[in-house]
Amino acid sequence: MTWPSPTPTHVGTEPTKICIHVDADPRFAAGIGGVAHFLADAAGLDTEAVCQLQEGVVTTCRAVFEAMPPDQPRVEVILFRHSDRIEVALARPREFAATSMKAATPTGIDSLQTEAHGSAAVTRLTKFIKQGAPSR
**110: Cβ contacts below 8 Å, ≥ 6 apart:** 85, 126, 127, 128
pTM over 0.85: no
Question: Class for domain 16-128, per CATH?
Answer: alpha beta
- Residue 104 has φ and ψ, to the nearest 5°, of -60, 150
The CA distance from 5 to 62, in Å, is 22
Looking at residue 101, its pLDDT comes to 53
Within 1-136, residue ranges assigned H as helices are 29-42, 47-66
Residues 4-13 have pLDDT tens digits of 554 444 444 5
Sorted by where each begins, the domain ranges of the chain are: 16-128
For residue 98, what pLDDT is reported? 52
Question: Could you give the percent of the chain with pLDDT greater than 70?
Answer: 79
Q: Could you tell me if 17 and 2 are in contact, meaning their C-beta atoms sit under 8 angstroms apart?
A: no
Which pLDDT value is given to residue 13? 56
